[in-house]
């Protein structure tokens, strides 16, 4: 059966020292009682090794927020999946809408990134979601279908079974606007249906589909109570240990 997961996405926030302090605080908050879900923190690259060391043996797993579409070589400034893996991180967030919008990550580039992540035994947390105009035009289903078909539906059934999906409506990210629990459930169920159509019911039932977009301690419980919402990808609210813990406690 699929896993419930609460994953933080720190984005470009926190110096190394601040990030280590945040991870430490979270570790202490979670030490008293094991959470009812998987917990992941998505840190900047430079924090990965320190945070992975610090959280070793705890319930907290570590994710990068990106990895390269090339294996190695003359790609100044890039970080490969193998490098991410060597830090102790186990996950990588791929296809975040900010990467797509600001760094030109196309369907094709993301397809390569997912393949390389899997090859290096990282679990991709693959993000999909529509922008405001697409939602207003009722095109959200079309959009997420195209994103899945172009970048992850090429995977074998075995490999697809290793990935985590995150539905993040772009209009809800960092805006304080949240999809209603009904909107989230509707599209999560649609996404699960697409997976069932492509890989069969069992794979669909085993795939964790997280919701992201202004998820906070006040709305997490209602969002997570939907049958097809298997947790959250949390931006702003993951930057405070107490808020992130409160979202984890929604399970």
Structure-token pair, residue 62: 């570590």
168 binds ligand PGA (CB under 6 A): yes
Distance CA 143, CA 198 (A): 17
Q: Does 165 bind ligand PGA (CB under 6 A)?
A: no
Beta carbon nearer to ligand PGA, 128 or 199: 128
Q: Report if residue 174 touches ligand PGA, rule: CB under 6 A.
A: yes
Is 96 assigned a catalytic role? Answer: yes
Least separation, in Å, of the C-beta of 99 and ligand PGA?
10
Q: Does 235 bind ligand PGA (CB under 6 A)?
A: yes
The residue among 235, 212, 236 whose CA lies nearest residue 224 is 212
By beta-carbon proximity to ligand PGA, the closer residue of 85 and 95 is: 95
* Minimum distance from residue 245 beta carbon to ligand PGA (Å): 15
Tokens of 36: 């009812």
Q: What does each C-alpha distance from 59 to 39, 85, 116 come to in angstroms?
A: 7, 18, 26
Q: Answer yes or no: 222 catalytic.
A: no
Residue 5 φ then ψ, to 5°: -140, 135
Contacting ligand PGA (CB under 6 A), which of 4, 9, 50, 123?
9
Q: Which stretch binds ligand PGA (CB under 6 A): 53-61, 71-79, 149-157, 166-174?
A: 166-174
Give the residue nearest to ligand PGA (CB): 235
Looking at the Cβ atoms of 199 and 224, the one nearer to ligand PGA is 224
**Is 218 an interacting residue with respect to ligand PGA (CB under 6 A)?**
no
Q: How far is the CB of 145 from ligand PGA (least distance, A)?
A: 21
Angstrom distance (rounded) from CA 224 to CA 182:
11
Written as six digits, the tokens of 86 are 């060597």
Question: Residues binding ligand PGA: what is the number (CB under 6 A)?
Answer: 13
Using DSSP, state whether 72 is helix, strand or coil. coil
CB-nearer residue toward ligand PGA: 173 or 199: 173
Determine whether 158 is exposed, middle or buried from the number of CB atoms within 10 Å of its CB (0-12, 13-18, 19+): exposed
How many Å apart are CA 108 and CA 239, to the nearest integer?
31
Q: Is 243 in the site for ligand PGA (CB under 6 A)?
A: no
**Position among 67, 80, 214, 219 found at the interface with ligand PGA (CB under 6 A):** 214
Q: Report the distance separating Cα 143 and Cα 149, nearest Å.
A: 10
Task: Classify residue 8 by burial, with Cβ atoms within 10 Å: 0-12, 13-18, 19+.
Answer: buried
Tell me if 233 contacts ligand PGA by CB under 6 A.
yes
Q: Which residues are catalytic?
A: 96, 168
Which positions lie near ligand PGA, rule CB under 6 A?
9, 168, 173-174, 212-215, 233-237
């Amino acid at each position: 059966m699929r896993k419930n997961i609460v994953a933080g996405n720190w984005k470009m926030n926190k110096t190394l020292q601040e990030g280590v302090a945040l991870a430490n605080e979270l570790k202490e908050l979670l030490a008293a009682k094991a959470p009812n879900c998987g917990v992941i923190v998505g840190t900047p690259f430079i924090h990965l090794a320190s945070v992975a060391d610090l959280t070793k043996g705890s319930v907290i797993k570590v994710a990068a927020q990106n990895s390269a579409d090339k294996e190695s070589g003359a790609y100044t400034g890039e970080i490969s999946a193998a490098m991410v893996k060597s830090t102790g991180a186990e996950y990588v967030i791929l296809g975040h809408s900010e990467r797509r919008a600001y760094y030109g990550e196309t369907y094709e580039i993301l397809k390569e990134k997912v393949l390389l992540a899997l090859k290096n035994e990282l679990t991709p947390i693959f993000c999909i979601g529509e922008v405001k105009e697409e939602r207003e035009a009722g095109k959200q289903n079309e959009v997420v279908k195209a994103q899945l078909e172009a970048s992850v539906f090429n995977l074998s059934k075995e490999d697809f079974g290793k990935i985590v999906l995150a539905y993040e409506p772009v209009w809800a990210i960092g805006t304080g606007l949240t999809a209603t629990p009904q909107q989230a459930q509707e599209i999560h169920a649609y996404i699960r249906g697409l997976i069932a159509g492509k890989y069969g019911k069992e794979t669909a039932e085993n795939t964790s589909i997280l919701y992201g977009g202004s998820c906070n301690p006040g709305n997490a419980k209602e969002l997570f109570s939907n049958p097809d919402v298997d947790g959250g990808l949390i931006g702003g609210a993951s930057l405070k240990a107490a808020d992130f813990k409160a979202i984890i406690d929604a399970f």
